[in-house]
Structure 1
């Protein structure tokens, strides 16, 4: 029964209730367990119970073994009726007469709480009396049991019915984990195999042949993986295959010490866990999957070699299938996305960009992901009323879940991943559907090659080739002297300083690199590390091959260009009537020379003046000229001195007939993007004041609005400084407007549908404009129908 109050009051109330229960005839043979959070607390509670007339022994781990045995034997025979514990008498202890528990302090984990409850509900024909747990308020019970424990004290509640509902699942899982561990190889005494909880993560490989499988699935482990053997400076501490022969588990150990102390006196052991899981194919379109999970990639690679796994046996996972497995999960939100540059960027162009933040996928702009492919993603996933973080890295063929699970469940989760990987069902909510995905390379493109580029990860890392030649001076390119086919892409590497070919070879469609047979191999080395062939170096860090059609090949992956975007960006459009307007004349002076109507600037000012405003005051201002803020500026202020600014950039049409002309949009888009800084820069008011008085140019002219009030708001009138907008006003909302009457919106839409190049370029310009300005204010395009 829950007892409210302070800790001292709760202790007194719990003791009083326990003494009442111990005095009842039905509990004449019951043993009492007093739960405390520390040894000091256990002794304190023992004194409280003893003072109340009930002796309580303290059973803690620091007691001598003889004293522990005396207390346990006394509990079993009944000569000792009550014991105060911290962590003892939990898992693994069976005391049938335990029917009373005083839960003074909660456990730190749910499993410990469940184990305590499990002791109470264990039935015994010799002790049929009901179990009773007396605790503090329900909120002090482990949070996962809130509500559940409360129901145990409801009227007519039966502990033998209610408690198993809470405890049985946990107990069954614990027992199942222990039985699973018992079927593994015997472990050293200090290693509790059932306590191993690996993180759900793996690098994914597909088998290349249907009849291949790793040797450990037959129960065969080579001598190189025997306990005591060395792998890359690590000693194998434990090795076993799971009962179903699906997962090989290897634990390595190595002595480590501080770098500043050369004597082994401060050394300690560092342990690493390595898991290799085989998931056989289940359907005709599938291949077996080898899922490799290790903390040390070098040791894991040595394990694969020891198992006889060669490159010709495996290929990395298909990035499209890996992405599909990710997309099928019940995603709550995306927290991290990385995109890989799939075109040959110059200096300053990042090869990889990462974006982070809650719901980051909803905030990515087209400019962020243009000419890029998804490299990795992380998301929050919901499962059985809990959440965890999962992620993929497509080029590296990795997936992970930020949770640690028992060995028994680890295999189940990897099997679930394999089912999602091979699933043919399309995800209802794919991540960034308009961004390119990597594809497995089935054949090389036949088009012309723009560039072959060494992997940037190899540059600046100290690699040398050909007797000390720095890798930075080596150029790799298509070898036109060798045959090029759909399956073979010939390459050569040249020392640019000596103008000497140092390597010839080719890449195959599986992403493997091979030395040419008629040339000596080229050796690569970094520092004093192990020497390796140049082709092996390219296997680990493949070059990028760029084609004129926009395709990029990276190892065994191909990134195809995304189809041109045919949807217009989300800019607001206004299509006024240009009747009586000379759309080829920007200013009144030019319109007067043409004699064909009013200028575009005048038409814009008239249109703004004719549009109602919800603000108390509005000014229409002109600022045309070199260094202008905008051709036309609209300032609106309400009674609370909240302000709204709109910057209108005007450009005339090249001809009297609206169409789709790239040249007419380039300059005005650039001007509009540059002006976006004023939407959030409070120095705008001071700058406008200087231009109104002529201190700065071009001069600000008033087309509509009170000059006297404007001078006050811009801080020019010294008698009303407190009214100045730069004193206590922030911009509520800003807008940048492009005015180009020479642009026909209908023609743009129509020509986009036919993949017209000029229309695509104009569309891209507008997308950049919307991306650049959209985070600071609204974007509008004023054009023709």
Structure 2
């Protein structure tokens, strides 16, 4: 009758438990209900409706002596037949308990019927135990007879396939031979509970026998050697129930917003289980009143928690496949979005099913209050704090060498950190990482990459997801520096700066550009005027227009010149608004040119071998990291040709006369190279030069090309000419930009000699062009001419500069540096 409370009690079991229970609950839809359960969490991790109002804990059951002592007895063996080892130990424990006067019985547990059959035979052949197998293939009458024999003492135990775990009251069942451990916490607690009962005479501690393993149940390793189950089980049950209560409490703070799109079934907020992946920004706050608008998407779920500064969206996209013209086939896909703001750290976390850089930027623009910025790699690296026993599976290394044929290296496999040496720090920087370790006694995984993305290989309910973000936030803002004490620490980490610490001399493409090979489209309104591979464009730093605050950069291909500027505040912008529109096409997706470069920025090389990558500054390597042996310097007697080693070249004939008709270094080198039978010899000294001298010699399968860079000595005698050597080595680094491929080198030389055929000392434009049109490979070498150095006057600083230059060349695929002194 209406207004009366009529309790309905039901005991449900079997394979269709959840289906049956759900239907019973629905049948009494308007009734008030109180649920009773031994474990207030489902093994499938779905929601149990209702609030926790009373908890009778396992520790209280211990105090009330309803729950007895339990112990884990690890079976330590060298026997490859672990089933036999467990069987023999089970028999030993059973006989010892019997001798002690206990009336204990055995359950042999496995999860497969075929395994149970083999265990029957194994126990019969190797033990004297009287065991009987029961499983779901047997009739109810047969199972009932077997249980009666067990109670009457005609059997020592039973072999079970996932039976008798729930609803079976036989407190004398005290020895569990676990051949296949249960994996879920609910199942494990219920299984243990059947053995821990105390309502019988002549019973003692419940004993669980299993091979030690790393299996985690409820984040605890129950089956590791030395595990104290009495303590673990009590605490584990309490922790999980408290976590369940916290989950429900946090979820109750989310208020569901109305959406324009109706769905038949309500989405259970409890069942939302996002993957732990976020992009992190620094922000002043979060705007919870905003919403998202995605073309082709309808919002089907929208919830806000003002208490926890979090907002959740689920959208639905309905579209026909691109390969069909009609609407006969439709793809339906759902997307999840969670935005959370951590007040204590001022960090905004975005979890999105759509993971493009552009979309993240749109979301942060919508939901971030005030100013917002991405997090530097230096700060993101701190998510590794307090993780012990690290083991790295995947490490990315950003190549910092100009014009290297390898822009990005990935090391994958177990203990990848062991392959990283200190020498890697000279040419590589921290790119991305994915690893596992231990934190607060639990196994964890963590990874991060450029663009302030962090992830863990886990799915968590929303309250746990928010707690995960809070943990990340406290680490990111920590003032501590992270050291893993592994080879991974050898890789330098970039820092966010507001100006260039050193002058820039060249640049190359982002590693994603090399991998995706995008096209650059030149447009006038909607008309495509030209389409070229972006990688075909030359990148030129306009040093005369650049400063330590802003760079001027030109992208050049034939008659097309795109003028850009770059700084750390606005990143890439046009120096002048171009006459045409430029779009980057990548895998069928179009991006504005500036958006593309701001997402996948050029890697910029600075003096002193420093680098800008992903908008972050990587300092030069330490001086001690490089060493160039003095005996590698080639000596040359400049006096034979009456050379003034302080004079690199003469601007006028009179200048030479005034200097006693002594040869300049250029003149002496001219004599030397002219006598060495090269097929091409070019004198290219001047503004914008490739090198002072360029030689080319043909072989059967290749052309050897040597670029000579000359710097006069600042003194009359050889000495510690640090400034001289540094200047000429930087010329070597810069000139690599013109040797990245045959097309670039050919175009640059032809352009330099087009109006100056006299630059060809040996050969001419036609011979050079014919050589370049052949299919032979080009092998480049670089030589510095610095008469101010010698083996006798070689200092550690000179060694560092020359070694760093040499390392840059070799790492970029060139021959080793040639240094000619006195």
CA distance in 1, matches of 2:407, 2:85: 65
| Structure 2 contact 423–625 (Cα < 8 Å) conserved | no
- Residue 204 of structure 1, CA deviation: 1.9
> What residue in structure 2 maps to residue 170 of structure 1?
236
Of 419, 423, 427, the residue aligned with 1:360 is: 419
CA distance in 1, matches of 2:493, 2:427: 15
**Alignment partner of 1:422 is 2:477:** yes
Distance 1:497 1:359, change over 3 A: same
- Residue 133 of structure 1, CA deviation: 3.8
Alignment of 1:228-243 (within 5 A): none
Of 324, 339, 343, the residue aligned with 1:280 is: 343
| Structure 1 contact 214–278 (Cα < 8 Å) conserved | no
1:86-128 deviations in whole A, cap 9, x for unaligned? 34565x8796958545435332537478425541466677999
| Structure 1 contact 338–355 (Cα < 8 Å) conserved | yes
Of 201, 206, 216, the residue aligned with 2:282 is: 206
Distance 1:573 1:335, change over 3 A: farther
| Structure 2 contact 519–533 (Cα < 8 Å) conserved | no
| Structure 2 contact 502–548 (Cα < 8 Å) conserved | yes
1:272-313 deviations in whole A, cap 9, x for unaligned? 76554432235xxxxx11223445415993896499336975
> What residue in structure 2 maps to residue 35 of structure 1?
109
> What residue in structure 1 maps to residue 706 of structure 2?
none
Distance 1:59 1:214, change over 3 A: farther
CA distance in 2, matches of 1:16, 1:109: 26
| Structure 1 contact 246–277 (Cα < 8 Å) conserved | yes
Distance 1:305 1:549, change over 3 A: same
| Structure 2 contact 627–799 (Cα < 8 Å) conserved | no
Of 624, 629, 633, the residue aligned with 1:567 is: 624
- Residue 461 of structure 1, CA deviation: 2.5
> What residue in structure 2 maps to residue 468 of structure 1?
528
Distance 1:35 1:550, change over 3 A: closer
CA distance in 2, matches of 1:13, 1:366: 54
**SS across alignment from 1:468:** strand
**Alignment partner of 1:132 is 2:201:** no
Q: TM-score, normalised by structure 1?
A: 0.52
Alignment of 1:70-109 (within 5 A): 85-87=160-162, 99-100=173-174, 102-103=176-177, 105-107=179-181, 109=183
| Structure 1 contact 366–767 (Cα < 8 Å) conserved | no
- Residue 397 of structure 1, CA deviation: 1.7
| Structure 2 contact 509–601 (Cα < 8 Å) conserved | no
**SS across alignment from 2:596:** helix
| Structure 2 contact 287–368 (Cα < 8 Å) conserved | no
1:470-517 deviations in whole A, cap 9, x for unaligned? 56377698999xx99998878887885467x7xx88666444666899
- Residue 567 of structure 1, CA deviation: 2.4
Alignment of 1:499-578 (within 5 A): 509-511=568-570, 522=581, 524=583, 526=585, 533-544=592-603, 557-559=615-617, 562-563=619-620, 565-567=622-624, 569=626
Of 292, 305, 308, the residue aligned with 2:366 is: 308
Distance 1:232 1:19, change over 3 A: farther
1:343-372 deviations in whole A, cap 9, x for unaligned? 6x44x5433334564422325346644xxx
CA distance in 2, matches of 1:661, 1:243: 66
| Structure 1 contact 221–307 (Cα < 8 Å) conserved | no
CA distance in 2, matches of 1:429, 1:308: 37
**SS across alignment from 1:439:** coil
**SS across alignment from 1:168:** helix
Which ranges in structure 1 are unaligned for 5 or more consecutive residues?
A: 150-161, 226-230, 283-287, 575-582, 586-625, 627-653, 667-741, 753-757, 773-785
- Residue 168 of structure 1, CA deviation: 2.6
**SS across alignment from 2:495:** strand
> What residue in structure 2 maps to residue 245 of structure 1?
308
> What residue in structure 1 maps to residue 663 of structure 2?
none
1:443-471 deviations in whole A, cap 9, x for unaligned? 46796775697886187334524132456
| Structure 1 contact 331–379 (Cα < 8 Å) conserved | no
Distance 1:87 1:315, change over 3 A: farther
Which ranges in structure 2 are unaligned for 5 or more consecutive residues?
A: 1-72, 257-262, 638-675, 677-712, 729-788, 813-822
| Structure 1 contact 335–359 (Cα < 8 Å) conserved | no
CA distance in 1, matches of 2:211, 2:396: 48
| Structure 1 contact 232–298 (Cα < 8 Å) conserved | no
Of 125, 135, 145, the residue aligned with 2:223 is: 145
- Residue 165 of structure 1, CA deviation: 1.5
Distance 1:12 1:121, change over 3 A: closer
- Residue 317 of structure 1, CA deviation: 0.7
**SS across alignment from 1:166:** helix
| Structure 1 contact 181–193 (Cα < 8 Å) conserved | no
CA distance in 2, matches of 1:377, 1:552: 20
| Structure 1 contact 336–360 (Cα < 8 Å) conserved | no
| Structure 1 contact 118–167 (Cα < 8 Å) conserved | no
The number of residues matched between the two structures is 573
CA distance in 2, matches of 1:769, 1:487: 28
Distance 1:517 1:312, change over 3 A: farther
CA distance in 2, matches of 1:569, 1:493: 33
CA distance in 1, matches of 2:602, 2:238: 52
Alignment of 1:337-486 (within 5 A): 337-342=395-400, 345-346=402-403, 349-355=405-411, 357-362=416-421, 364-365=423-424, 368-369=427-428, 373-378=429-434, 381-383=437-439, 390-394=446-450, 396-402=451-457, 409-427=464-482, 437-443=493-499, 457=513, 460-466=517-523, 467-470=527-530, 472=532
**SS across alignment from 1:415:** helix
| Structure 2 contact 520–585 (Cα < 8 Å) conserved | yes
**SS across alignment from 1:314:** strand
Alignment of 1:660-679 (within 5 A): none
1:65-95 deviations in whole A, cap 9, x for unaligned? xx89x99xx99xx9999987534565x8796
